[in-house]
Structures are given as structure tokens and as C-alpha cells.
Structure 1
Amino acid sequence: MQDSPTNPDTPQALIEQVRAAAAARTPLRIRGGDTKAFLGEPLQGQPLDTREWSGIVSHEPTELVITVRAGTPLAAVEAALAEKGQHLPFDPPHVGDGSTIGGVVAAGLAGPARASVGGVRDYVLGAQFIDGRGEWLTFGGQVMKNVAGYDISRALAGSMGTLGVITHLSLKVLPVAPGEATLVFQMGQHDALEQLHRLGGQPLPLNASCWVKDETAPDQPELLFVRLRGAVAAVEAASERLTREAGGQRMDNAQAGPDWAACRDQRLPFFTAPSPDVCLWRLSLPQTAPVLDLPFAQLIEWQGAQRWLWAPASAATQIRAAAAAVQGHATLFRAGTDGAPGVRRFDAQSTAIHTITRRLREAFDPQGLFNPGRMG
């Protein structure tokens, strides 16, 4: 797309800033609400702030599509959707006050429902962004369709701002499910994983799960929480069955709702660092992975596929070896107060993924202007 000064929806100020940086070969640090600055390697470059480029461009409730400018606060997008009984199904985390929708896509983070409904990239229909030459490009659209070659709009999800400055996003949304219930089971980690494997093989409206033990309160039991969502009849039938056959207890939705939001936003007691020198690690594993032989406090989501743990940076080799042994990988999500010097944030990429990633960056940001070194 060619930019036009007469088009009010042209991000002219952002385009000019990128072009000036390209001419001067000055790296740019892209930021929205700056709530996820801790992700990845330390940020470098001159700030490029997207928050002024904000607003909902269009929302077609009957088409299940919303188009927004990237600097729009996530809270504003969710409020607009809620007015129409809709939501972003992947539960985007509010990592901090001021999260923007562009940051949601760039970080690629999803909340408790991710294992059941898909991740961020599954809901990106189209995007516009400014590349490293200052060109304003358009990919995708506002409908679901098959494409040939790279689906660049979806490749932006999780790219951490290394491909370009996102300006617009078209996202698929869904109606809020009419039925919801949360069940809690008292069981250890091994039994909880076995329970989740059994439930996953049954026709149940399973939407989210969370197993946790509060290490700060030794008297507290180990608990598995399971959220059901869907048609009211299906949720009620599944809830009654699991209460009767599996010993679950149903929680009041008024209590469970804030608890799930706290899990999504990492505000549960578990996510408070037990000491300043430990790091929060995120392990991405197959759902069927067993209990890992790691002596660290854990919280488990996504039916076993996402596991959080607190451990010192010096345990990096041990943690990554345990994840690799079950065909998974580990990310140093939040570093301790010392910044974990010498420990890379992300696992090394395979040769194939590294080659694809390098070629994409060379195509869209040949000078390496955007968030240099962010992903290692």
C-alpha cells in the first residue's frame, strides 16, 4: 500500500520516523504500553511509540471481525466487544496496565483457554505494518481464507516487533459462550495430568485448566481447576458428570471468574517471585508430557502443555534438558533482579526455523532496525 497524506487513516508520523531511522541507520525500539519490555533480550534503540495511533476502525459483529489500530488499549478493544456479547477467545493476558492490541499480537501470548481455542495467530485475519524501508504494507484481509506461501499477517504473532511496526490488525472474534462452570479437584501433579489426559479424550466442553500448589502456604492442598465453556446444556451435563464421577466440586462463577483472570494476568500468588534472585521459566511441552524431574515450584496450564516454574538462572541447562527430553522447550520469561547475565532467553532454533526467520527479517527489515537482538 502506498501512503497518502490525504488519507486520515495513514500512519504518516510513524512512516516518517521509520524512514528517518532507515536513512540514519538508527535502530528503533518499538513499544506500545511497554508492559512486555521484560520479554526477550534487553531492548535497544530509539523509542518508537505506537500509542498515539489508536482507535477502532470498524467492528462488524455479524461478521465476527474487528479492525483496530495497533496502539489501541487492549482494555478498550475488549470493552467494545463485550458490548456486543463477543470476546477474543484466546484470553490475551493483561501483563500490565496499558497493554495495546499491537503488543498482544507482537508478543504472541495467550491465556488459559489457548489449548482449547488456539493461539493469537489463529485469530489474525489481516495486518498492515511498516517495514524497514518505511513502506506501508498490507497482508491478509477481513475474512478467513486459504493462502499460498507465507501468511505474513500471522507471522507477526510472536515476532516481538522484529519484522516491522504493526499499524492495523483485523481479528476474528467469537460470541461469549452462554454456559460456563469451574470445577476444582484436590490431587497431586501426576494425578492431575492423568485426569486432564482422560478429560481431553472425551467429548467435553473443556476450555481451560490450571494445576497449582501454593508453596507459600504448606498447609494448602494441591488443586486442579478445570473450566468448562459452551452451550448451557453441555456445560451443565459435563459439570454434573465430573462432580459425580471424578469427585470435582463446582465453584461459584463470581469467585472463579476473577481467579481465572488472575491466572491469565499472572496475578496469582504463585507468580510472586519467592526471592529476588530467581527467574520465572515458561516450558512449552506436549500435553502428554509426564511430571518433570525438576525440584522447583510449578504451575501447569493448557492441559499440561504450558508449565511455569521459579528457578535460578544457573538451572538453565537442567531445565532446558528436561524440556528437550520430552520434545519441548524452555523460555526464561522473567529474569531475576540481576538480569540473568549470560543466560539466553530463548532456546536455540532449529536450522530450518532459523533459516526461515532470517529470510523473513532480511526481506522486511534488511538493516535490522527493529528491536535488534530482541530474540537473541
Structure 2
Amino acid sequence: MQSIEQFQERVRAAAADQTPLRIRGGGTKDWYGQRLEGEILDTRGYAGIIDYEPTELVITARCGTPLAEIEAVLADRNQMLAFEPPHFGAGATLGGAIAAGLAGPRRAASGGVRDFVLGAKLLDGKGDVLGFGGQVMKNVAGYDVSRLLAGSLGTLGLLLEVSVKVLPKPFAETTLCLELGQAEAIRRLNEWGGQPLPVSSSCWHNGRLWLRLSGAQAAVDAAVHLIGGEVVASPACFWEELREQRLPFFGGDDALWRLSLPSTTGVLQLGGVQLIEWGGAQRWLRSDADAASIRRSVAAAGGHATLFRGGDKSVGVFQPLAPGIARIHERLKQSFDPAHIFNPGRMF
């Protein structure tokens, strides 16, 4: 197994020589973000579950641990990663899932990746091992750097180990499908979101709305009676296909945009086709419209747009930062990676 000392030696040598390093686990998300640059620093040799306490609802593992292994261990105890990280390939690792910061269909109900990160060990650009947080929520005080690592795409350092909160799987789950137009679906989703209904996931596309209900059997049954619609057979397949973006919608040639918006935002006329998740807060757009017009429309609605997959990355994958926020990013980068060797140019 790869050792921390070997990582330290490689990082210190790279910093001394100003050699960029490209942190990489299974490589299943190499397409995400801006350019890929630098010598590969492979994390897969540093793997394994360090500690798992089912009664404490926390698991600690090394960065190169396969995501599938984590999920299998949790499933044996009827537990799960509630943010449902997409794999996008068989080689996905825990470190890559945290660094990418991507959550699946259950995110609106359960929370995002950073909401479940309790603690982390990071190897910074000087080759020092830094520890943040812990294995319980009460250890997280002040500015929580461990959560800052979620979605940082490895630009701040090499995530060595991470402690993640897990949750029990629901007692019961049912998926409903309703025939609804986009405007009515958004209205209903926000109406249901203000009621004590066990809606754990939603997806609207092409005149159909899928709802996943999760919780106690009585609560699920009551929601089915209230909402109506058709009960879907074998629903797990649908939500997995959505999470892994294997539904036909995601197979087009046009650029795929990820739009983050207030859930109450009405229908946005952006051209192309849309798929809506998270009660209206996340919208996927397949469109050949120019980036500037998409971002103007989304910003006017109080959101931001990410060029998630395909398209011309020269327009910037991520929404350009306001000057003040950009300066904070620069200072963080300088503090953690003064030689700027980790994943240069991956985010901005």
C-alpha cells in the first residue's frame, strides 16, 4: 500500500521543481472541470476503511478506497451515503467523490456532500499533513476546513483520509410518476416541499414527474394517497440511472449545463431541453445557446450555471467569481498550495 511518506516525498520534490501534479483516483470524473495538467499522482494505492462505527453513524476511510466498497460495507448494516454521490464509472473512489462535491437525487432532502464531511486529513503543498474536524459533529467548531475540501477538485491538496456521516436506509420507499407540464410540476414540487411529506427525490422531464417517497411505511402510504399518480415498478433502477446520468436525456451531443436556481423559479426559456431535479433547485439543460446568454438568464433568476459536460470550455466551466470571492479563493490556494502544484487550472 502507498504510504503517506511516499506522498510527502513526491509533493516536496514537485514543489521544489515547480512540477504540476494531477491528483487522480479512478479517473471517472476527468472530464469535469477545466483542463487537466501535470504528472499524475495516483491515490488508488492508499486505500482501505480505517474505522466504521455503525452505531455512531460515521465511517473513516483513505482517499483511494473504492466508492463501491464503501457503499457495500454500509449496505450490510442497512446504512448509506445519503448524498448519493454519482460514480460515473466503476473506478470511482471516496476521495474523488468528496473532491468533486457532486451529490445525487436525494440531495435536496438529505443535504450535499459537505454536509456529511466530519473530518479530514490533507497533505498540503509543502508536504505537511494537516488534520481538520473529527468523527463527530461536536468536534466541528469554528471555520470548518474539512468541508471546504468538498468540491475543491483537489486544488488545495491531497485528501488523505476523510470521516463521513452516514444515515440509515429508509424503512420504506415508493416512487410515483405523474403526467405534468413543467410549470405545474414546479408549482406542485414547491407546494409539496412546504408540507410534511416524505419526498426524498424528484425528477421532471418531457411532461412526466417522478417522485421518490422515503420514510416510515405509514408516512409513505399517506403521501401516496395524497399525491396520487402511478406507482412505478422497480424504481431503484430509475434513480440509479438518473444519478449516473445514463437516462436518454444525458446522451445528447449538445453541451450539458447544470443550473442552480431558487426552487421557486418558474419556467426558463433557454432553448434546448431541460430535466429538473431537487424540487426545482437543480435544472439540467441541453442547449447550443451561447454561454453568455444562458448565464445572464440564470443570474437574473438568482442562480448560476456550470458547463457540466461537453461544449466549449474556453467560456469557463464554472460561473465566474465576483472579485471579492476570487480574492478569497486565491488566498486559500496560496495558503494550502504556495507553489501552485496541485491540479493547476482545474477550476478557474
1:263 matched to 2:242? The reply is yes
Q: Which of 361, 366, 369 lines up with 2:338 in the alignment? A: 366
Q: TM-score, normalised by structure 2?
A: 0.97
The one-letter code matched in structure 2 to 1:257 is A
Aligned to 1:29: 22
1:299 matched to 2:278? The reply is no
Aligned equivalents of 2:131 and 2:313: distance in 1? 39
Call closer, same or farther: CA 1:265–1:341 in 2, change over 3 Å: closer
Aligned equivalents of 2:324 and 2:165: distance in 1? 30
User: Which secondary structure state, in structure 2, belongs to the residue aligned with residue 36 of structure 1?
Assistant: coil
1:165 matched to 2:147? The reply is no
Aligned to 1:272: 251
1:140 matched to 2:133? The reply is yes
How far the C-alpha of 1:350 sits from its partner, in A, is 2.1
Aligned to 1:212: 205
How far the C-alpha of 1:230 sits from its partner, in A, is 0.9
Among all aligned residue pairs of Structure 1 and Structure 2, give the percentage whose two residues are the same amino acid. Answer: 55
Root-mean-square deviation (CA, aligned residues, Å) is 1.3
How far the C-alpha of 1:147 sits from its partner, in A, is 4.2
Moved more, 340-349 or 49-58: 340-349
Aligned to 1:4: none
The one-letter code matched in structure 2 to 1:289 is T
Deviations 1:45-95 (A, max 9, x none): 111000011111111000101000000110000000000110000111111
User: Which secondary structure state, in structure 1, belongs to the residue aligned with residue 46 of structure 2?
Assistant: coil
Count of residue pairs the alignment pairs up? 348
Aligned to 1:237: 222
* Contact 2:156/2:333 (<8 A) preserved: yes
Q: TM-score, normalised by structure 1?
A: 0.90
Aligned equivalents of 1:9 and 1:138: distance in 2? 19
How far the C-alpha of 1:317 sits from its partner, in A, is 1.1
How far the C-alpha of 1:137 sits from its partner, in A, is 1.0
Aligned equivalents of 2:139 and 2:76: distance in 1? 31
How far the C-alpha of 1:148 sits from its partner, in A, is 4.4
How far the C-alpha of 1:145 sits from its partner, in A, is 2.1
How far the C-alpha of 1:353 sits from its partner, in A, is 2.3
Q: Which of 347, 350, 369 lines up with 2:319 in the alignment? A: 347
* Contact 2:59/2:166 (<8 A) preserved: yes
Q: Which of 228, 232, 235 lines up with 1:251 in the alignment? A: 232
User: Which secondary structure state, in structure 1, belongs to the residue aligned with residue 340 of structure 2?
Assistant: coil
User: Which secondary structure state, in structure 2, belongs to the residue aligned with residue 145 of structure 1?
Assistant: helix
Aligned equivalents of 2:198 and 2:54: distance in 1? 24
Q: How does 1:1-376 map to 2 (within 5 A)?
A: 11-145=4-138, 147-213=140-206, 222-243=207-228, 248-252=229-233, 255-273=234-252, 275=253, 278-312=254-288, 315-336=290-311, 340=312, 342-376=314-348
User: Which secondary structure state, in structure 1, belongs to the residue aligned with residue 314 of structure 2?
Assistant: coil
* Contact 2:198/2:215 (<8 A) preserved: yes
The one-letter code matched in structure 2 to 1:372 is P
The one-letter code matched in structure 1 to 2:10 is Q
Unaligned runs of 5+ in 2: none
How far the C-alpha of 1:138 sits from its partner, in A, is 0.7
Deviations 1:245-297 (A, max 9, x none): xxx11112xx2111100000101111102x3xx21111011111111011111
How far the C-alpha of 1:358 sits from its partner, in A, is 1.5
Aligned equivalents of 1:365 and 1:29: distance in 2? 13
Deviations 1:160-185 (A, max 9, x none): 10000001010000110111111111
* Contact 2:133/2:139 (<8 A) preserved: no
Aligned equivalents of 1:229 and 1:350: distance in 2? 39
How far the C-alpha of 1:355 sits from its partner, in A, is 2.4
How far the C-alpha of 1:322 sits from its partner, in A, is 1.1
User: Which secondary structure state, in structure 2, belongs to the residue aligned with residue 38 of structure 1?
Assistant: coil
Aligned equivalents of 2:200 and 2:286: distance in 1? 26
Aligned equivalents of 1:48 and 1:204: distance in 2? 46
Aligned equivalents of 1:310 and 1:36: distance in 2? 19
Aligned equivalents of 2:62 and 2:176: distance in 1? 38
Deviations 1:115-135 (A, max 9, x none): 111000000000001000010
Unaligned runs of 5+ in 1: 1-7, 214-221
| Structure 1 stretches of 4+ moved >3 Å | 146-149
